[in-house]
Structure 1
Amino acid sequence: MGAVGIAAVSIGYNVLHMPDAALNAANEPALPSSPMAQQPGDPESVIRGLQDRVGANPNDAEGWQMLGWAYFENGRHADAVRAYRHATKLVPGNATFWSSLGEAAAMASEHDPMPREAAAAFDRAIAIDPKDPRARYFMAVRKDLAKDHEGAIRDWLALLTDTPPGAPWEADLRRTIEQVGKINGIDVAGRLAAVKPIAPHPSMGGGMSVAAAAIPGPSREQMQAASQLPKGQQDAMVEGMVSGLEAKLKANPGNVDGWIMLMRSRMTLGETVKAASAYAQAKAANPAQAGRIRDEARILGVPGV
């Protein structure tokens, strides 16, 4: 499952599990926790806070969803599955809950790349929302696993066509299509060229880069609910998220989209020196993409660019 495995990491992790809470602290604080348990930069404190939240209110579907995301981000995929199951039972009509469950189940499986629970969850998600990008991506993975490589490529191309301009997963999705095409002797160059990337729109709200802003995140209702938290809890939660992203980039410095996200996060938090440091590290680690990194940093207002 070589190409499929690469693809799953690209879409599942880089794209669909980067919540806007870590990217836009002013608008989307989405993982509340206990102020006693929360310590900036400590992902486990976020998990403990969410465990306390659902423990106090087991019918809090959004709390279970957020707990599932926190588990997933920390590599605890089996725990994420259990949390997402609670969310889907409480709100069975939410496509995001189902596609999140499906992805977690796929990642938790040690041998079967598409276990029965994952496949069923993606089916439910698509039935509720045929445009759910996570479910669409993994439905194509399922076709590829079934040796319907042409069908998988066709579905990925359709997803690419619907991808928001400049979205951070565009390059990964294109690379997945290229890899699966190459492995299976399918010429995709012309079809990929027909889906032309569109430059980020200059009028994006707040001057933010489309590449950093177009990532699916918590719902508006979730954001409104989380905004009721005391500011200290919000700030500690967000700093923990951003620190977690920074740690992942140290392990994978070639993730240019991740560096752009980190720069945006630091600028949103008013941490301009740290944003400038992220910019310097991103360029040093990715000299071939220095131009893109510079352009994104300029849009974000990173000092010294």
Structure 2
Amino acid sequence: MSGTNGIKAEKAGGLTGINRAILVAAFALLAAAIGYSVWRDTTPAADPAAEDVAAPRDQLAAIEARTAREPNSADAWTALGAARFDLGDFAGAIAAYEKATRLSPDAAGLWSALGEARVMASERDPMPAAAARAFDKAIALDASDPRARYFLAVKKDIGGDHKGAIDDWFALLADTPEGAPWEADLHRTIEQVGAIHRIDVAARLASTRPRAPTADEMPVAARAIPGPSRAEMEAASQLPKGQQDAMIAGMVDGLEAKLKANPADVDRWIMLMRSRMTLGETAKAAQALKDAMAANPGATARLKAQGQLLGVPGA
């Protein structure tokens, strides 16, 4: 895999090919605080010179302005950490997440997000002590935090306990909601580590299934914005990439406009979060979650469960 993940692996002296693979797979673990999409590193941009850079940086400026206005808002610092992480500014993400954890020290997802940023910012150590401490803190607050569990298994594998790491990943797989964004990558990691270290995992993989989603987790997180008709899809496929992007953005913005008119539609809020995460707009997804909970306090548990499944920052 190319991009920043590959660069980091080259810098991390002593990393094996499988350690590179498991660190890369970690970024599909979209649970709790950061929604980082692996496809952004594997799908080449139509124009690497820059067509998609301005919007995230403009968005970053708006989020930074929010932290200046609301310096005691953990949500604002969380959104800034997510935005900086998405831009590859891992040192900046660390600084933002450290402020968020000081303001909201009991949020496990923030600690695991901080740990992930510390891993990515490290030039040579694939599992810095500070990152491990953040993951330990996350687990102490929430033993089910998927990202912390994943990375602590990575730590075992790096330390030579390959079987222990595989066992931990199997346990995480068994606790993973079916269809979760990280399910396939976790499955693949187990296969790869097993193959490299000659540990037979085939039978266990065949018998281990992700759990059924809870009532709060299904079915809306699996859906996105209401889809176009077949004719609209066929027409869209003929458009240049820029126009396709504009069409998608228009659909998402239209969904958001409908929510302003009817903020009580919880399913549409979840669709909006999903759409923003799919577009890599993690800060906007976080804002959608915040707005949805404010408009629907009785649905807070469901919204947070859906947000965690989608990897919305602050869920």
CA deviations 1:85-126 (Å, max 9, x no partner) are 001111111101100000000011111110111000000000
Structure 2 residue 225 is matched with structure 1 residue 210: no
**Within-5 A mapping of 1:236-275:** 245=280
Q: Closer, same or farther in 2 for the Cα pair 1:211/1:123, shift >3 Å?
A: farther
CA contact 2:114–2:131 (8 Å) conserved in 1: yes
- CA distance in 1 between partners of 2:27 and 2:105 (Å): 22
CA contact 1:125–1:135 (8 Å) conserved in 2: yes
* Residue 126 (structure 1) aligns with: 139
CA displacement at 1:5 relative to structure 2: 2.2
**Matched residue type, 2:35:** M
* Residue 20 (structure 2) aligns with: 5
* Residue 71 (structure 2) aligns with: 58
CA deviations 1:185-220 (Å, max 9, x no partner) are 11111111111357999x986x6463879xxxxxxx
**Within-5 A mapping of 1:37-186:** 42-186=55-199
CA contact 2:115–2:135 (8 Å) conserved in 1: yes
- TM-score, normalisation: structure 2: 0.58
CA contact 1:64–1:86 (8 Å) conserved in 2: yes
Structure 2 residue 204 is matched with structure 1 residue 187: no
SS at match of 2:35: coil
**Matched residue type, 1:210:** A
Q: Closer, same or farther in 2 for the Cα pair 1:7/1:95, shift >3 Å?
A: same
CA contact 2:30–2:147 (8 Å) conserved in 1: no
CA displacement at 1:58 relative to structure 2: 1.4
* Residue 18 (structure 1) aligns with: 35
CA contact 1:168–1:211 (8 Å) conserved in 2: no
CA contact 1:165–1:210 (8 Å) conserved in 2: no
**Matched residue type, 2:142:** D
Unaligned segments of structure 1, at least 5 residues: 20-38, 214-226, 232-236, 247-305
CA displacement at 1:11 relative to structure 2: 2.8
- CA distance in 1 between partners of 2:223 and 2:126 (Å): 29
CA contact 2:150–2:172 (8 Å) conserved in 1: yes
Unaligned segments of structure 2, at least 5 residues: 1-14, 37-51, 226-255, 261-271, 282-315
- TM-score, normalisation: structure 1: 0.60
CA deviations 1:227-256 (Å, max 9, x no partner) are 9xx96xxxxx98x9579549xxxxxxxxxx
- CA distance in 2 between partners of 1:61 and 1:200 (Å): 29
- CA distance in 1 between partners of 2:59 and 2:223 (Å): 27
**Matched residue type, 1:148:** D
- CA distance in 1 between partners of 2:104 and 2:162 (Å): 34
Q: Closer, same or farther in 2 for the Cα pair 1:51/1:170, shift >3 Å?
A: same
SS at match of 1:186: coil
SS at match of 1:15: coil
CA contact 2:177–2:210 (8 Å) conserved in 1: no
- CA distance in 2 between partners of 1:40 and 1:196 (Å): 39
- CA distance in 2 between partners of 1:241 and 1:40 (Å): 16
- CA distance in 2 between partners of 1:154 and 1:169 (Å): 17
- CA distance in 2 between partners of 1:57 and 1:7 (Å): 37
How many residues are matched? 208
